[in-house]
């Protein structure tokens, strides 16, 4: 049977044939009535039931079908996040939630769940076998090999698919399009799409991330998205604002202390590094951390070791650090207020959040989202925006970014006595003639932002940027000169 199965898989020339053969073969090898294959999507955030063999009947789901979110299924999440095989000879309905298994007149008694790695060793899917009888599903090793083979074959088929149009070719070159819905974020502007692409790269890689952006741009939301959709999602996510505490209190809060370490230390106290062991620690406003603590944080990042106050011993912790700052950290390094070695350790994977004034239509999407949330909280009927109110919003610079917009919308909903939000509910001063922009000025501002972003993304390569923008290189050079974009701006 194993040899025949390998031959059938090797001869499969389509996605459907591969999936059908895998679930049918795994069901036969394990001697189980059910076999399921779950695949992660391109953003590695959602599982999709891609194929199933139930009582000999095989069904394959389309690659374009709507994914189902199995985040609440603890057994699947355990295998997915821990990258471990799960074999249960006796399923207990009172202990194990098995909502992902199809309904059956007879209860499911045995379960096998295998994580399937891709060629890079990252988990790309799960293979599940279940039986209505109590049995030892001993074919785990062979099934894992077959599943891994199918995962890699699917990737090869994807690369070999013919590109039918020039647009499809461009989409393939830039990678899969990921929207904010995949990470619980709102916005589809060019700047936010770049953020989503970076998030997809770092979710399952235990690398330190530095989130940069102005105050109120949503740095903590991005950090939480990395944790909630990454491999540590089942572990703690803790937050510490480094500007909110004096140096001594911040040190004891981060590293913990032993009984007798200082006056009032009448018991041992676990620090945040210990409490977040296995999970994620988000250090907000890292630029305000005192220099003495920066040296200790650097040791945690380099060695993975923590020494509590009052202790002579260090111990290891497994904590992913996500830091954030609205400060210009290179400037802080030049001024001697931030350690250069710590900066380079933190900035190994930076994510820059665009300010709200550069996010275009995201402003109105966020405004409507906050309006719906406020109306639901106040148990009011949904409010709509008048055209004048939307124009007033669009004309404001929002120095406080998304945080300012949220507070402004909530106040407007409170002031509104009907169901239409008008300019007088916004409490915004009308734009002065100096700051008012014509339509042409706004279009040039958007164009300048797009060209700058493209040039930065291509490392200043004007030919490549012109191809991405769909322009002749000579036209791009003309537009750069007209918009005042030179090498110093990149």
Instruction: Retrieve residue 475's tokens.
Output: 């036209």
State how far the Cα of 279 lies from the Cα of 320, in Å rounded to an integer: 6
- Who has greater pLDDT, 165 or 288? 288
- Who has greater pLDDT, 439 or 384? 384
Give the three-state DSSP class for 337: coil
Instruction: Retrieve residue 243's tokens.
Output: 């500007």
State how far the Cα of 309 lies from the Cα of 319, in Å rounded to an integer: 19
Q: Which residues contact 373 (CB under 8 A, 6 or more apart)?
A: none
**Contact present, 184 and 40 (Cβ < 8 Å):** no
pLDDT band for 78, please (50, 70, 90 cuts): confident
Q: State pLDDT tens for residues 3-12.
A: 555 556 556 6
pLDDT exceeds cutoff 90 at 468: no
Q: State pLDDT tens for residues 79-99.
A: 877 778 888 888 876 777 788
CB count in 10 Å sphere of residue 429 = 8
Select from 242, 338, 341, 236 the least CA-distant residue to 284. 242
pLDDT exceeds cutoff 50 at 103: yes
Phi-psi region of 37 (alpha: psi -120 to 50; beta: other; left: phi over 0): beta
State how far the Cα of 26 lies from the Cα of 35, in Å rounded to an integer: 6
**Contact present, 127 and 159 (Cβ < 8 Å):** no
Alpha carbon separation from 14 to 85, 161, 178 (Å, rounded)? 28, 10, 25
Burial class (CB in 10 A: 0-12, 13-18, 19+), 229: buried
Alpha carbon separation from 57 to 52, 102, 134, 236, 267 (Å, rounded)? 8, 13, 22, 41, 62
Q: Which residues contact 440 (CB under 8 A, 6 or more apart)?
A: none
pLDDT band for 70, please (50, 70, 90 cuts): low
State how far the Cα of 471 lies from the Cα of 463, in Å rounded to an integer: 9
**Domains defined along the chain, listed by start:** 2-160 (3.30.450.40), 180-352 (3.40.50.300), 359-425 (1.10.8.60), 439-489 (1.10.10.60)
CA 10 to chain centre: 35
Q: State pLDDT tens for residues 26-39.
A: 888 888 889 898 88
Instruction: Retrieve residue 52's tokens.
Output: 């199933």
State how far the Cα of 18 lies from the Cα of 240, in Å rounded to an integer: 48
Q: Which residues pair with 57 in a beta bridge?
A: 54
Q: State pLDDT tens for residues 436-451.
A: 556 677 777 778 778 8
What is the DSSP code (8-state) at residue 81? H
Q: Which residues contact 286 (CB under 8 A, 6 or more apart)?
A: 210, 242, 323, 324, 325, 329, 346
Q: Which residues contact 347 (CB under 8 A, 6 or more apart)?
A: 210, 329
State how far the Cα of 220 lies from the Cα of 351, in Å rounded to an integer: 12
First to last CA, the chain: 61
pLDDT exceeds cutoff 90 at 160: no
- Who has greater pLDDT, 53 or 66? 53
């Amino acid at each position: 049977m194993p040899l025949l199965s390998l031959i059938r898989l090797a001869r499969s020339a389509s996605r459907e044939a591969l999936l059908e053969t895998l679930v049918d073969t795994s069901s036969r090898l394990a001697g189980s009535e059910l076999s399921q294959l779950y695949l992660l999507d391109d953003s590695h955030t959602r599982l999709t039931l891609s194929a199933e063999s139930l009582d000999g009947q095989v069904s394959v789901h389309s690659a374009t079908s709507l994914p189902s979110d199995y985040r609440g299924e603890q057994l699947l999440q355990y295998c997915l996040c821990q990258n471990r095989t799960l074999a249960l000879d006796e399923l207990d309905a009172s202990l194990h939630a098995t909502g992902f298994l199809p309904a059956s007149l007879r209860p499911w008694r045995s379960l096998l769940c295998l994580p399937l790695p891709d060629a890079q060793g990252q988990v790309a899917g799960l293979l599940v076998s279940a039986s209505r009888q109590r049995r030892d599903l001993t074919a785990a090793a062979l099934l894992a090999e077959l599943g891994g083979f199918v995962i890699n074959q699917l990737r090869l088929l994807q690369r070999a698919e013919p590109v039918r149009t020039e647009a499809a070719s461009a989409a393939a070159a830039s990678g899969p399009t990921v929207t904010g819905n995949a990470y619980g974020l709102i916005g589809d502007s060019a700047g936010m799409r770049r953020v989503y692409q970076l998030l997809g790269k770092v979710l399952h890689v235990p690398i330190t991330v530095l989130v940069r952006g102005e105050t109120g741009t949503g740095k903590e939301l991005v950090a939480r998205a990395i944790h909630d959709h990454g491999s540590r999602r089942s572990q703690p996510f803790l937050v510490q604002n480094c500007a909110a505490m004096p140096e001594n209190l911040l040190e004891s809060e981060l590293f913990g202390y032993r009984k007798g370490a200082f006056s009032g230390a009448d018991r041992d106290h676990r620090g945040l590094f210990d409490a977040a062991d296995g999970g994620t620690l988000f250090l907000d406003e890292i630029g305000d951390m005192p220099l003495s603590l920066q040296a200790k944080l650097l040791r945690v990042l380099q060695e993975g070791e923590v020494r509590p106050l009052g202790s002579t011993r260090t111990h290891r912790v497994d904590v992913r650090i996500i830091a954030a700052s609205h400060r210009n950290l290179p400037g802080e390094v030049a001024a001697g207020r931030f350690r250069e070695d710590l900066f380079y350790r933190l900035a190994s994977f930076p994510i820059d959040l665009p300010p709200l004034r550069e996010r275009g239509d995201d402003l109105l999407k966020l405004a409507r989202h906050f309006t719906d949330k406020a109306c639901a909280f106040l148990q009011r009927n949904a409010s709509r925006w008048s055209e004048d109110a939307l124009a007033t919003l669009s004309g404001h610079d929002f120095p406080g970014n998304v945080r300012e917009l949220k507070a402004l919308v909530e106040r407007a909903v409170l002031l509104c006595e009907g169901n239409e939000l008008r300019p007088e509910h916004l409490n915004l001063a009308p734009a002065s003639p100096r700051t008012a922009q014509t339509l042409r000025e706004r279009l040039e501002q958007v164009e300048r932002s797009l060209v700058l972003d493209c040039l930065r993304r291509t490392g200043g390569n004007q030919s490549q940027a012109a191809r991405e923008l769909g322009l002749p290189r000579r036209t791009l050079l003309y537009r750069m000169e007209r918009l005042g974009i030179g090498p110093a701006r990149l």
